[in-house]
């Protein structure tokens, strides 16, 4: 077994790698499965505690439909002849359903530019053509990926071994996703049978923001020289979204980091570069481009652009031109040469110059620059100095993006780094596994479980929204509006309704260990049936209001049912002798990206899924 402790010269302290501190016991029957569900490509990794202790995170690299080893499979579907094909199984030239991940977002959470983009409009057209919902499309894709995942793990461990393992599944999500999008992903996972009952026990599901997963993976890579006080910006540049989170290293033994400034993200990923390049081709070829069949367009975009030019392009390279062959059907009987303007067309091939290709990257890179600049400026306001920018994700492997950011921030003495792993596009998948073992450690911290995983952790995060709930308080005419005046018939007094109590405010530091908790007491009828609801609200304003106003939106409803008879509740006696019951409960919250997770406690007991359910709005 390889050593779990590695000392690197020049590092402030000895780095303890993620596996250090994971104590194994006889009942370690867990299997963590990480799913990186991406806009354009998706990947899967898995590990048992024994795997993890041996520094072995298993990445799926064999996919149906291709003989090559690939870290990810295309996030695409094809419905044909009552069959559902996916990934590499889809024949070339097919008009696939793709981009459906973006369809989970509501219109109000999309920019006008994105809503007008051809990629997004095409995804919406395909949604209409298939007569399916976004959740159904995602479920169909996840179902296929899940089946292949189980087949792969069964071959590696044996079906009887896998049948005895409890599954913990971690799905990565963009940090900018709101709670309703995560709820939709949960619904899709259920529909895909990922959470179906198993003899070994309940399958648990959690989410991790993609840049957080990337940080957990990349900041722990062997050879990464990190010191206490270092601040790194993790730039997860994927197919659709580009998410950024900045982390400060709080300790190196074990590794602990905190979110230094509030993370940000935007829709400026690789698909918009593809869209821009296709527009360049259309402008140059004119009506000839319209002559291309869908297969012909795919030959240019998939074969020539996405697999050849885009992943290796950088200006001023040894290549003088970037040549793209256009299928003959585009030209018909017209001349195969056109030297009337740049880029030249010779023998049916377009000879692109560096300056032509750079145009395709311009808008996306401008969006990424703005996101990175904002992180650096916010860090400066907190008196923090960013040491490095770490690039991950599909677009994060681009040599052009690396050189662009390196040159841009050289004057600031900020290093730009790329994942040093063998398969850098799998960093987020691997980070999901780290997050999974952290989840298991947290869930067993007060139980008899054998996990004691303390070697790497995000100790605090920044809240991207204010989160709270409404309260009744005693009415004060000097503080409250008359429209909030409400008569409390149980306590027989005037109260102010609609008042906000904020658990956390936008930008607050929130410890992942010491969860934010509030205790409440309700006076209920003596014949109370034990069921009650808690409404939680969010506000994106920098300064949230003291009462519920138009910018305060409901984030979710928590439905609860007591796990003990209501008759056991304490009695509340009014001055006139009328008796009621008194219900005391706690709501615990921890933010996660632009969303939050909630847990309810009644009489000190954590309410499980049978007694408390969260329905996001």
pLDDT tier at 452 (50, 70, 90 boundaries)?
very low
Tens digit of pLDDT for each residue in 223-280?
777 889 999 999 999 998 899 989 999 988 777 889 998 888 888 999 999 999 999 9
What's the pTM?
0.82
Q: In order of start, what are the domains of the chain with their CATH numbers?
A: 5-222+424-460 (3.30.420.40), 231-268+374-418 (3.30.420.40), 270-360 (no CATH), 463-616 (2.60.34)
Q: Do residues 19 and 54 touch, judged by C-beta distance below 8 A? A: yes
Q: What pLDDT was estimated at residue 599?
A: 85
Q: What pLDDT was estimated at residue 24?
A: 41
Q: What is the DSSP string of 385-448?
A: -EEEEEEESTGGG-HHHHHHHHHHHGGGT-EEEE--SSSGGGHHHHHHHHHHHHHHHHHTTTSS
pLDDT tier at 455 (50, 70, 90 boundaries)?
low
pLDDT tier at 562 (50, 70, 90 boundaries)?
confident
Q: What pLDDT was estimated at residue 23?
A: 47
Tens digit of pLDDT for each residue in 122-153?
899 999 999 999 999 999 999 999 999 999 99
Q: What pLDDT was estimated at residue 292?
A: 94
Low-confidence winner among 161-165, 457-461, 592-596 (lowest mean pLDDT): 592-596
- The CA-atom distances, in angstroms, between 308 and each of 69, 207, 231, 275, 305 are 17, 33, 35, 16, 5
Q: How far apart are CA 374 and CA 378, in angstroms?
A: 6
Per-residue pLDDT at 610 exceeds 90: no
User: C-alpha angle 443/444/450, rounded to 5°?
Assistant: 145
What's the distance, CA 231 to chain centroid? 21
pLDDT tier at 7 (50, 70, 90 boundaries)?
very low
Q: Which secondary-structure segment (H or E) carries 7? A: none
Taking residues 415-433, report their average pLDDT.
Answer: 78
Q: Which string of b and e fits 489-511 if b means at least 16 CB within 10 Å?
A: eeeeeebbbbbbebbbbbebebe
Per-residue pLDDT at 18 exceeds 50: no
Taking residues 433-458, report their average pLDDT.
Answer: 63
Per-residue pLDDT at 357 exceeds 90: yes
Taking residues 171-178, report their average pLDDT.
Answer: 88
Residue that has been written with the tokens 């069949």 in this structure = 293
Per-residue pLDDT at 594 exceeds 90: no
Per-residue pLDDT at 333 exceeds 70: yes
Q: What pLDDT was estimated at residue 14?
A: 36
């Amino acid at each position: 077994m390889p050593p779990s402790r590695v000392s690197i010269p020049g590092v402030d302290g000895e780095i303890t790698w993620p596996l250090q501190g994971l104590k194994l016991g006889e009942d370690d029957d867990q299997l963590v499965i990480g799913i990186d569900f991406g806009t354009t490509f998706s990947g899967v990794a898995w590990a048992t505690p024994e795997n993890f202790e041996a520094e072995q995170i298993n990445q799926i690299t064999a996919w149906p439909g291709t003989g090559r080893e690939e870290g990810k499979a295309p996030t695409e579907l094809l419905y044909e002849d009552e069959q559902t094909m996916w990934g590499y199984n889809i024949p070339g030239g097919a008009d696939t359903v793709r981009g459906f991940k973006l369809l989970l977002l509501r219109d109000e959470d999309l920019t006008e530019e994105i809503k007008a983009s051809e990629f997004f409009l095409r995804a919406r057209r395909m949604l209409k053509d298939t007569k399916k919902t976004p959740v159904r499309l995602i479920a169909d894709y996840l179902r296929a990926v899940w089946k292949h995942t189980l087949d792969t793990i069964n071959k590696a461990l044996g079906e009887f071994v896998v049948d005895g393992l409890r599954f913990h599944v971690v799905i990565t999500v963009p940090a900018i996703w709101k709670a309703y999008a995560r709820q939709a992903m949960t619904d899709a996972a259920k529909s895909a049978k990922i959470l179906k009952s198993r003899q070994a026990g309940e399958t648990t599901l959690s989410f991790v923001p993609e840049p957080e997963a990337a940080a957990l993976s990349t900041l722990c890579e062997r050879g990464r020289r990190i010191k206490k006080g270092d601040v790194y910006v993790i730039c997860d540049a994927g197919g659709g979204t580009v998410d950024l989170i900045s982390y400060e290293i709080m300790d190196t033994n074990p590794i602990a980091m905190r979110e230094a400034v509030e993370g940000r993200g935007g829709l400026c990923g690789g698909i918009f570069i593809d869209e821009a390049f296709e527009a360049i081709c259309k402008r140059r070829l004119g009506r000839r481009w319209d002559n291309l069949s869908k297969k012909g367009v795919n030959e240019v975009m998939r074969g020539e652009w996405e697999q050849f030019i885009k992943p290796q392009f950088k200006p001023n390279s040894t290549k003088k031109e970037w040549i793209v062959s256009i299928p003959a059907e585009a030209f018909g009987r017209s001349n195969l040469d056109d030297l009337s303007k740049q880029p030249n067309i010779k023998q049916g091939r377009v000879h692109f110059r560096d300056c032509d290709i750079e145009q395709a990257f311009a808008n996306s890179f401008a969006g990424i620059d703005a996101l990175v600049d904002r992180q650096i400026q916010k860090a400066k306001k907190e008196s923090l100095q960013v040491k490095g920018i770490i690039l991950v994700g599909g677009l994060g492997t681009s040599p052009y993006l690396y050189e662009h950011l390196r040159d841009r921030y050289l004057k600031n003495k900020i290093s730009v780094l790329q994942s040093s792993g063998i398969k850098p596009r799998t960093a987020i998948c691997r980070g999901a596994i780290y997050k999974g073992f952290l989840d298991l450690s947290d869930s067993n911290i007060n139980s008899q479980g054998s996990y004691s995983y303390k070697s790497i952790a995000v100790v605090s995060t920044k809240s991207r929204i204010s989160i709270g709930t409404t309260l009744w308080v005693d009415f004060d005419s000097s503080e409250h509006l008359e429209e909030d005046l409400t008569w409390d018939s149980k306590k027989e007094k005037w109260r102010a309704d609609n008042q906000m109590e904020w658990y956390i405010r936008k930008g607050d530091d929130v410890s992942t260990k010491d969860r934010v908790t509030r205790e409440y007491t309700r006076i209920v009828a003596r014949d109370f049936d034990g069921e009650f609801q808690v409404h939680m609200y969010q506000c994106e304003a920098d300064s949230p209001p003291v009462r519920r106003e138009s910018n305060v939106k409901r984030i979710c409803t928590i439905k609860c049912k007591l796990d003990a008879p209501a008759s056991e509740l304490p009695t509340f006696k009014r001055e006139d002798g009328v008796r009621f019951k008194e219900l005391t409960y706690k709501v615990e919250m921890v933010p996660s990206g632009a969303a939050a997770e909630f847990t309810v406690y009644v009489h000190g007991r954590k309410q499980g899924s049978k007694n408390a359910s969260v329905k996001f709005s």
